[in-house]
Structure 1
Amino acid sequence: MPARADTSEHRCESLADRDMPEVTGMSAELITSGTFVDPEGEGQDQEDLPEFCRVALTVDPQINIEVWLPTENYNGRFQAVGNGYFAGFIAYDSMGPALRAGYATASTDTGHPETGTSGAWAMTDDGEQNWQLIEDFASRALMELTTKSQDLVRAFYRDEPEYSYWTGCSTGGRQGMMLAQRMPGAYDGILSEAPAINWDRFLVAEMWPQVVMHQDLGGPIPTCKLELATQAAVEHCDALDGVQDGLLEDPRRCDFDPATLVGQETPCGVVTEAEAAALQKIWDGPRAADGSFLWYGLEPGAPLGDDPAGVGSRGGVWEPGGPGWDRLAGTNPFLVSDEYIKYFVLADPDWDYRTLTYEGFEQVFRQSQEMFNDVIGTDDPDLSEFRDAGNKVLLWHGWDDRMIFPMGTVDYYERVQDELGGDVTDFARLFMAPGVDHCAGGPGPQPVDPFEALVNWVEKGEAPEQLLASGSGEDDQVVRTRPLCLYPAVARYTGEGSTDEAANFECVLR
């Protein structure tokens, strides 16, 4: 264990004088109040923090990085935390818990100032793609974060961190896999949750439901019909796993046909043949003009319609009321998809998604692949250098994810297996979570501290065969636990005991 750090204010502030390549500005201050107020007012203020040295630095041209170094409860480890959607913010909400747990921790805004769902920063004033900012966002900021943070950890504690970890969901999950592919020796363990690894494909594919509805129906399917379709699909396929619990253990097995809903009365009208056909296209996912596969669609259990409360995320933590989070088949498109096509792919701020035909969709899809797969695709299956360095990656994805299609993660994991000769569980493990939405939420039990499972795997050699998942009711009382099984195994009820207790399930290959 590294020696206890000198907690003097002088020791902390001296880090600001450290000479680091391409750093254009750096400050360091000792935070003793136990409270940290987000200077941008974007996230939650952090309270009950241990004393720490806060280092803020800017890497040319405008990559902002923060490194928090605990002075009293340092556990000898470093944990970098990822962002959500287009980043543009320091993930203080994720840094706080890491610091309380004794980790030196770091985050970056990835080099652009516009936060959240805005993609306007990806285009210059001259109407061209801003490749400097795009490449900083895609990879360079992550590598700068890694090298600069680990240098500061060594300088402050006068020793290497015993272990280095990356953790993140969505964009943060993509960031972790980018680092596994491009800096394979940098992190002992990576937790990649609902990863946005197939960026150049899934962000365009998120627009597919809107194209289908506007081209085939002239506008959106009413929300109550979408809710009916999801409910009917779950009810039809619920018992396939042996338990009637409102969850689809593996939605790929679901054979529900939305045509069976035709003629059914709903509060928003009768379900028509055209609407049922459109629903099937949405579930099937994007297809080219010749009918060939382009990308995956939403799974049958995933929400389709509008969410009246709205949903938002900061650093992988989902909160009500966030901007731009209409569901993919809702009244409006998912804003991140709209912004990506508008500013990254087309560099046209006046583009209107309602003008997108099937032919135009295919063109935009292939254009996105050509322009951005090498830049931000993050889907290189050759993880041999990461494996050979002795490092571990734990992935999990919710089957009810309404934003990043879970089959994209399954596809990637299976390609890693193919690339590396079959079984890769010595260093890479995937767990699928029935009924879980994007990063969290949904009717399914939520994974319980997968980061702890990763740490035990890295440091104790305890490779996880299952992840515990837990569902809570009123007053946060646990009402259901389930095992999440190592892919491709699924949880099967033993036939004895409560179906709400994980101990009564076993993981089997179906």
Structure 2
Amino acid sequence: MFTLIVAAGLTGLASVGHATTSRQGEPIRSCAGLAQLTFTDGTRVTSAEQTTTTPAICHITLLVPESINIAISLPVHSWNGRFQGVGGGGYDGILTPPDDAAKAGYAAASTDTGHTGTPLTGDWAWSPTGMKRNQIKDFAYRSLHELTVKGKAVAHAYYGRQPAYSYWNGCSTGGRQGLMEAQRYPQDYDGVLSAAPAINWDRFLPAELWPQVVMRQAHDVIPQCKFDAINQAVINACDAKDGVTDQIMDPRVCRFDPSTLIGMKTACGTITAQDAAVVKRIWQGPRRKNGSFLWYGLTPGTTFAGLAGSTAGSVPTPFPITVDWFKWWLAKNPAFDWRSVTTANFADYFDQSRTEYHDVLGTDNPDLRAFRNAGGKLIIWHGSADQLIFPQGTIDYYQRVTATMGGPHRTGQFARLFMAPGVEHCAGGTGAAPADPLPALVTWVEHGKAPNTLLGRNGDMTRPLCRWPAVPHYNGHGSTNDAANFRCTPKH
């Protein structure tokens, strides 16, 4: 029997009996013995079980009052001395043991963020008597800190020593979670890997409905084959600027007017002036009635299927996460129909979203001095063809970080952004996504070598992913599938 004391973010261990001395990376007690752990804040162990798989993993689950569940995966052999917090997706709500991280040698932890459901559903935050503010805070940040403190403490109890280094690794909501840790709890992690981060949550989530609102307002639900034809035209016009024709390397220099396609025949009809006007507004992003900016839109060349999708018969199919945001978090009405949102009242919902949820879920504080001063290192990457979270929002955040933290040179000493041309949300698309970026972060943290590029891979194709704002450019010699034949150049 032993007691684990966790208070004020600090951990201490006291045990009954004599602790054994372990070999490097080996546990000092059994996995089942961790069931006896007790915490001063009422957290309790709900299961402790070792797998029979190879490699063997010790699975621990915790329940933090009131409803935060944490899953911890500990390698039984060959722990690398590091801790990894593993991020979730969407609205989260599921508990998945972070076994991949454990197989790589990490003591790792993940969380359901304090509620149960599917990542696509946001009804858990609503009740007839009001929004569940405590659960919203759990989802936004408290569960992440609890995962970290408790996960490290359990690793200490199992191996007899604290992790030497700690890393966060997540995409989408997981990317937002990593940046939330850096902003609110700057000493939790030595390194944060944040991919396609769902920051600017209070703005990009309502903006995800804009394509459907525009199509409905125009009485023009554009079929996918027209969208595909338009995107192919964009690629034909903008793709070769980097020296090779395969994907748009830099959407910033792509200036394409969809009205040039009016009259073009496709398998599902002729592109009309109305079609072109709708596409232009989708690319432009949501605007107020007077035309002023609210948020970003899809980058030209990015698939419309995620946010402007429709089924046979031209039935709109908006992204479920944004529909639930309007229904449960903004309208707070189970009977709410997203079709009541128009270009005229859209800004009202957008402003409400900012007012109610920016402070808790915006996750866009550019002041990272405490994280930097604690020695933290940050790598952000985002696919430039992300069809769900607008990559311009991540660029905007990094630009604000750069301005706040003393300019590009000083910022680059602890935080770097990499764009992945042609890559969709977290993965997929025609581009090359980072093959394994965590080791680059580990090397930066533990050996002081900052990455100027990340290696991207898509099947047999490799590409260098350049430190923003540089972009890859083909040198004109050798295979275009080989990263060695590209160099990073300034914006074209």
Fold conserved (TM > 0.5)?
A: yes
Q: Is the 8 A contact 2:287 2:293 kept in 1?
A: yes
State the SS of the aligned residue for 2:412.
Answer: coil
Q: Is the 8 A contact 1:23 1:57 kept in 2?
A: no
Q: Is the 8 A contact 1:12 1:29 kept in 2?
A: yes
Q: Please, which runs of 5 or more residues in structure 1 have no aligned partner?
A: 35-47, 306-325, 473-477
Match of 1:68 among 70, 73, 81: 73
- State the AA in 1 paired with 2:488: C
Residues 236 and 159 (structure 1 numbering): CA distance in 2 closer, same or farther, change over 3 Å? same
Please say which of residues 451-460 and 187-196 is displaced more in the overlay. Answer: 451-460
**1:311-326 correspondence runs (5 A):** 326=306
Counterpart in 2 of 1:173? 175
Q: Is the 8 A contact 2:368 2:401 kept in 1?
A: yes
Match of 2:375 among 381, 386, 390: 390
- State the AA in 2 paired with 1:448: A
Counterpart in 2 of 1:455? 442
Residues 199-244 of structure 1: per-residue CA shift (max 9 Å, x gap): 000000000101111112x241111111111111111111122222
Alpha-carbon separation, structure 2, partners of 1:27 and 1:349? 34
- State the AA in 2 paired with 1:342: K
TM-score, normalised to structure 2, is 0.91
**Cα distance, 1:270 vs. partner?**
1.4
State the SS of the aligned residue for 2:345.
Answer: helix
**Cα distance, 1:66 vs. partner?**
1.3
Alpha-carbon separation, structure 1, partners of 2:223 and 2:333? 30
Matched, 1:18 2:19: no
Match of 1:466 among 453, 476, 482: 453
Alpha-carbon separation, structure 1, partners of 2:64 and 2:37? 13
Q: Please, which runs of 5 or more residues in structure 2 have no aligned partner?
A: 1-20, 311-315
Counterpart in 1 of 2:157? 155
- State the AA in 1 paired with 2:447: K
Match of 1:508 among 455, 465, 489: 489
**Cα distance, 1:359 vs. partner?**
2.3
Alpha-carbon separation, structure 2, partners of 1:329 and 1:361? 19
Residues 442-484 of structure 1: per-residue CA shift (max 9 Å, x gap): 0112211011111111112221111111221xxxxx1x21111
Q: Is the 8 A contact 1:467 1:483 kept in 2?
A: yes
Matched, 1:232 2:213: no
Residues 18 and 201 (structure 1 numbering): CA distance in 2 closer, same or farther, change over 3 Å? same
Residues 76 and 264 (structure 1 numbering): CA distance in 2 closer, same or farther, change over 3 Å? same
Residues 383-406 of structure 1: per-residue CA shift (max 9 Å, x gap): 011011111010100011000000
Residues 182-209 of structure 1: per-residue CA shift (max 9 Å, x gap): 1101101111000001100000000010
Counterpart in 2 of 1:323? none
Alpha-carbon separation, structure 2, partners of 1:388 and 1:168? 23
Alpha-carbon separation, structure 1, partners of 2:40 and 2:393? 37
Q: Is the 8 A contact 2:214 2:281 kept in 1?
A: yes
Counterpart in 2 of 1:40? none
- State the AA in 2 paired with 1:52: I
Counterpart in 2 of 1:244? 245
State the SS of the aligned residue for 1:359.
Answer: coil
Match of 1:186 among 185, 188, 196: 188
TM-score, normalised to structure 1, is 0.88
State the SS of the aligned residue for 2:30.
Answer: helix
State the SS of the aligned residue for 1:196.
Answer: coil
Q: Is the 8 A contact 1:55 1:66 kept in 2?
A: yes
Aligned residues: 464
- State the AA in 1 paired with 2:453: Q
Counterpart in 1 of 2:296? 296
Residues 282-328 of structure 1: per-residue CA shift (max 9 Å, x gap): 001111111111100001121013xxxxxxxxxxxxxxxxxxxx444
Matched, 1:407 2:392: yes
Counterpart in 1 of 2:422? 435
**1:47-446 correspondence runs (5 A):** 48=54, 50-92=55-97, 95-124=98-127, 126-216=128-218, 218-245=219-246, 247-305=247-305, 326-330=306-310, 331-423=316-408, 424-446=411-433
State the SS of the aligned residue for 1:106.
Answer: strand
